[in-house]
């Protein structure tokens, strides 16, 4: 447990707690961005460069911006404050959080991850990630590509202007397109 990891963990946890507790939603999102950066720094400390930089690129660069756009488009600029909650919710939330944490901690400590030695950082290179993606994990990769394509097409469909049906008031308009003599 060296000093750098302690500092990074402290920043991550503090910003995650702030992201939960702050009133203004945009402040929450910005603290969440700091949390993402903290996680990326943890990855980098483990010399997982590809994952770390992808974390920054995807989460900080794209997901935060997406959340902010969603907030601003649906809520407007000024009324982004959460309503007051009562302390009973707080207790239930704490209980649920502790339960989840207990399950995950038990799972991690009982698995083989804590018993095997940490892998040498030289073996985890971008080349090995690429090779394993295209040799071992090619089916998840293609499924992921399909999923992303579906999401893109769905977004384009949602954003397209609506089509007029045959019974619309425009169908009895004289057709002037492409007919110069009319």
Residues 29-88 that bind another protein (CB under 8 A): 30, 33, 49-50, 53-54, 56-57, 60-62, 64-65, 68-69, 72, 77
Q: Which two tokens stand for residue 136?
A: 């071992």
DSSP states along 114-137:
TTSPPPPTTT--HHHHHHHHHHTS
Residues 126-145 that bind another protein (CB under 8 A): 126-127
Q: Which two tokens stand for residue 166?
A: 């045959």
Burial 25-42 (b: 16+ CB within 10 A, else e): beebbbbbbbbbbbbbbb
Tell me how far apart the terminal alpha carbons of the chain are, to the nearest angstrom.
Answer: 83
Least Å distance between CB 50 and another protein?
Answer: 5
3-state secondary structure of 81: strand
Contact between 163 and another protein by CB under 8 A: the answer reads: no
> By C-beta, is 112 or 165 nearer to another protein?
165
Least Å distance between CB 53 and another protein?
Answer: 4
> By C-beta, is 72 or 113 nearer to another protein?
72
> By C-beta, is 116 or 123 nearer to another protein?
123
Q: Count residues contacting another protein (CB under 8 A)? A: 26
> How many angstroms separate the CA atoms of 85 and 77, rounded?
22
Least Å distance between CB 17 and another protein?
Answer: 18
Angle at 163 between CA 162 and CA 167, to 5 degrees: 125
Residues that bind another protein (CB under 8 A): 26, 30, 33, 49-50, 53-54, 56-57, 60-62, 64-65, 68-69, 72, 77, 125-127, 169-170, 173, 176-177
């Amino acid at each position: 447990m060296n000093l750098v990891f302690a500092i990074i963990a402290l920043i991550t946890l503090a910003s995650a707690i702030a992201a939960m507790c702050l009133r203004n939603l945009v402040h929450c999102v910005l603290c969440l961005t700091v949390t993402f950066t903290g996680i990326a720094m943890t990855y980098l400390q483990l010399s997982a460069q590809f994952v770390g930089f992808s974390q920054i690129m995807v989460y900080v660069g794209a997901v935060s911006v997406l959340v902010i756009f969603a907030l601003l488009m649906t809520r407007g600029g000024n009324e982004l404050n959460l309503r007051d909650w009562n302390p009973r919710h707080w207790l239930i939330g704490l209980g649920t959080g502790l339960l989840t944490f207990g399950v995950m901690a038990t799972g991690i400590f009982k698995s083989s991850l804590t018993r095997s030695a940490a892998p040498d950082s030289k073996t985890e290179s971008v080349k090995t990630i690429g090779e394993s993606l295209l040799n071992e994990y090619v089916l998840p990769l293609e499924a992921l590509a399909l999923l992303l394509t579906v999401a893109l097409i769905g977004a384009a469909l949602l954003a397209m202007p609506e089509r007029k049906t045959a019974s619309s008031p425009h169908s009895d308009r004289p057709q002037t397109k492409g007919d110069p003599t009319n």
